[in-house]
Chain A
Amino acid sequence: MHLSTQESDITKPAVSRPSPASRVFGSLGRVVQFTRRWPIVPGVIMLLIVVGAVFAPIIAPYEPQKGDLRARHIPPSWLEGGSTEHLLGTDNLGRDMFSRLLYGARISLFVSGVAVTFGLFTGTLTGVVAGYFGGMVDEILMRLVDLWASLPFLLIALIVAISVGPSLGMVMVLLAVSSWSSGARNIRGEVLSLRTREYVEMARVMNASNIRIILRHLLPNVMHIVIVITTLRTGAMIIAEAGLSFLGVGVPASVPTWGLMIAQGQQFLTTTWWMSIMPGVAIFFTVMSFNFLGDWLRDRFDPRLNQLD
């Protein structure tokens, strides 16, 4: 069900629309409008998370896996009984939540980054090849994409978890493989229309090779779609990784991940509720900022991608 040709008001760039926010809130609205024009808030959040993830060993006040049994179940610092020693409190084994979250960010961003990059690389290649060559090649590749899109990947992950066993590499491969087909169709559509443009025809008349036409003339012109889809897919990948770890079929339990932390906190909901809440908040803000950025890029680059889910 691809509805990429539809037009609606979100399809127009955010800039050209008078912001109702400014009408409602006055001068505060102008600030809101500015943050709508440029993705300031999501950008800052994402920067914080990326910096936190990359420099986790330097920033983290404690080791993520080492617990202090005398400091178990300490609430976050702003609650009664909390202390600034443990900013976001500790878990049932006395491990520092803040440090664990930072290390969790590494896994989340790394896994989803690798998965999306690989998925988008193959997806783009498929889309460009299918769109450019057309005919039988197109038919076969697109059927394959359809088939892929109709496989339930969570269930497949459950099977791989028992046959191969949970590992970081397995999760990355699974997510990469599951996201492979997502961009292919949009990119193919774009290439189909690019193919008939004059400059591509001219290149062909000049006897340029297929590879040259694809690399020099087609790829640069679909890059904006690739960037938008990458950003939007990253959020979905972060949630997928967290989901697998939550179920205990993803990254092995020896690595602190956000999904695993939520699962571990599940037994302590009545007392140490922050164990489950904190990692979820981290996921929420990370994914939210990726989605906002993706939406913003889409408005800027290609309004027709509006219907992408």
Chain B
Amino acid sequence: MRKFFIRRAIFALLTLWGITFVVFGLSRLGPDPLLIYVRDDSYGISEETLQKLRVKWGLDRPLHVQYMKWIGAVLQGDLGHSIAAGRPVTAIIADKLPNTLQLAAIAWILASIPGVALGVLSAVKRATIWDYFARTIALAGQATPAFWLAILMIIVFAVKLGWLPAATKAPAIEPFKVQFAHFVMPALVLAFDPWATYLRLTRSSMLEVLDSEFVKLARAKGVSARGVIWKHAFRNALIQPLTVSALVLASFITGSVFVEAVFAWPGIGRLAVQASLDNDFPVLAGVVLIFGAAYVLMNFLADIAYAFVDPRIRYN
């Protein structure tokens, strides 16, 4: 286990380094690296000013020097200043990160519990109308882009029915009810995609366990159907959905970018999109590094959790 842990940890660090390398490499991929700071339709800026800007951001230096300077600052916790807002990137991210985390936490619960429950239902009532219903929803979920589902929900629940607010997060002074209403749609949309994953996983591992020897023995001993399902099968079938739940959190990184963009949610996913449209590289790089680190961490945790509950994995 220890050896596995160390190997995975080294791999996680390597991946993180890979991400910094990719971020930097891609940002210098274009014809003119100045583009990552200034939009190319910013007409009216003289060539001399552009040259000055290049010197200011160190773009005239050799690439490896630029990378070392950037990575050195990042390691010291300095992500630079936003071009658009003029504030330190770390301060901007610290402002917006809690909003994203709250949304992700709620969506995580909304995805896990119904997803696993439907998976169990689908396995226990296998090949009945329930099973078809659950699996069709799962298939439909995979074919529905999150941003479109979000718009669909806005049209139905905000525009037509007027039940829920269409966008943004409520200010902190609003009563709990209002705050909650603002969370409903974004969290549901975010939860919808991993739902299908949970359902499929729970269903297949539940079916596998229900087919195993010890469940047959329990049945032969005369344990009630309910006892077999919940005491024997469910507990063992839960291992996989549990380990995958870390990956689900990681998948919210991509999901939150879309959901926050549609619902104008003041989180870091929307910040990233805005930074990309504003050619604000310091902000974008900062968000990508934070998200990347979270992504790597979640993958690492999933690996460890999986190896912890299933010893066979450790020796592969």
Q: Does B292 contact A (CB under 8 A)?
A: yes
Asked if B272 and A1 make an inter-chain contact with CB atoms under 8 angstroms apart, the answer reads: no
Q: How far is the CA of A8 from the CA of B40 in the complex (A)?
A: 55
- Nearest B residue (CB) for A236: B142
State which of A8, A154, A280, A309 has its C-beta within 8 Å of the C-beta of B254.
A154
Interface string of A148-175 (1 = CB under 8 A from B): 0011111110111111110000000000
* Total number of residue pairs linking A and B with CB closer than 8 Å: 177
Asked if A283 and B29 make an inter-chain contact with CB atoms under 8 angstroms apart, the answer reads: no
B residues in contact with A6, CB < 8 Å: 204-205, 208
Instruction: Give the interface size bracket for B toward A.
Output: 35 or more
Q: Does B247 contact A (CB under 8 A)?
A: yes
Asked if A280 and B129 make an inter-chain contact with CB atoms under 8 angstroms apart, the answer reads: no
Q: How far is the CA of A235 from the CA of B141 in the complex (A)?
A: 12
Q: How far is the CA of A6 from the CA of B212 in the complex (A)?
A: 12
Q: Does B114 contact A (CB under 8 A)?
A: no
CB within 8 Å for A1 and B204 given contacts A287-B142, A292-B139: no
Q: How far is the CA of A169 from the CA of B258 in the complex (A)?
A: 23
Q: Does B82 contact A (CB under 8 A)?
A: no
Asked if B159 and A242 make an inter-chain contact with CB atoms under 8 angstroms apart, the answer reads: no
Q: How far is the CA of A22 from the CA of B56 in the complex (A)?
A: 73
Asked if A269 and B36 make an inter-chain contact with CB atoms under 8 angstroms apart, the answer reads: no
Q: Interface residues of B: mostly helix, strand, loop or mixed?
A: helix
CB distance from A172 to the nearest CB of B (A): 15
| Residues of B62-103 contacting chain A, CB below 8 A | none
A residues in contact with B299, CB < 8 Å: 150
Interface string of A246-259 (1 = CB under 8 A from B): 11110000000001
A residues in contact with B18, CB < 8 Å: 147, 151
CB within 8 Å for A163 and B35 given contacts A1-B302, A247-B261: yes
Stretch at the interface among B173-181, B184-192, B281-289: B281-289
Asked if B143 and A284 make an inter-chain contact with CB atoms under 8 angstroms apart, the answer reads: yes
Q: Interface residues of A: mostly helix, strand, loop or mixed?
A: helix
Q: Does B217 contact A (CB under 8 A)?
A: no
Interface string of B230-261 (1 = CB under 8 A from A): 00000000001001100100000110011001
A residues in contact with B281, CB < 8 Å: 159, 162
Q: Does A10 contact B (CB under 8 A)?
A: yes
CB within 8 Å for A243 and B306 given contacts A158-B272, A158-B276: no
CB distance from B93 to the nearest CB of A (A): 14
Stretch at the interface among B43-51, B104-112, B147-155, B221-229: B147-155
CB within 8 Å for A9 and B207 given contacts A150-B295, A165-B35, A288-B143: yes
Q: Does A135 contact B (CB under 8 A)?
A: no
The size of the chain A interface, using a CB distance under 8 A, is 59
Asked if A8 and B204 make an inter-chain contact with CB atoms under 8 angstroms apart, the answer reads: yes
CB distance from A91 to the nearest CB of B (A): 15
State which of B127, B203, B240, B258 has its C-beta within 8 Å of the C-beta of A20.
B127
Asked if A291 and B139 make an inter-chain contact with CB atoms under 8 angstroms apart, the answer reads: yes
State which of A143, A155, A270 has its C-beta within 8 Å of the C-beta of B291.
A155
- Nearest B residue (CB) for A232: B142
CB within 8 Å for A17 and B285 given contacts A3-B240, A8-B208: no
B residues in contact with A283, CB < 8 Å: 143, 145, 148
Asked if A164 and B30 make an inter-chain contact with CB atoms under 8 angstroms apart, the answer reads: yes
Q: Looking at B148, B159, B208, B281, which has the most chain A CB atoms within 10 Å of its CB?
A: B148
Asked if B147 and A246 make an inter-chain contact with CB atoms under 8 angstroms apart, the answer reads: yes
Q: How far is the CA of A288 from the CA of B262 in the complex (A)?
A: 23
Asked if B132 and A20 make an inter-chain contact with CB atoms under 8 angstroms apart, the answer reads: yes
Interface string of B132-170 (1 = CB under 8 A from A): 100000011011110110011011000100000010000
Q: Does A62 contact B (CB under 8 A)?
A: no
Asked if B140 and A288 make an inter-chain contact with CB atoms under 8 angstroms apart, the answer reads: yes
Could you write out 10 A-B pairs with CB less than 8 Å apart?
Answer: A1-B244, A1-B306, A9-B127, A20-B127, A159-B23, A163-B27, A246-B258, A246-B261, A266-B151, A288-B143
Point out residues on A near B: beta carbons under 8 Å.
1, 3, 6-10, 17, 20-21, 24, 143, 146-147, 150-156, 158-165, 235, 239, 242-243, 246-249, 259, 262, 265-266, 269-270, 273, 276-277, 279-280, 283-285, 287-288, 291-292, 295, 306-307, 309
- Give 16 A-B pairs besides A284-B140, A309-B197 with Cβ atoms closer than 8 angstroms: A151-B292, A152-B292, A153-B254, A155-B287, A159-B23, A159-B288, A162-B27, A162-B36, A162-B276, A243-B145, A259-B145, A266-B262, A273-B155, A291-B142, A291-B143, A306-B204
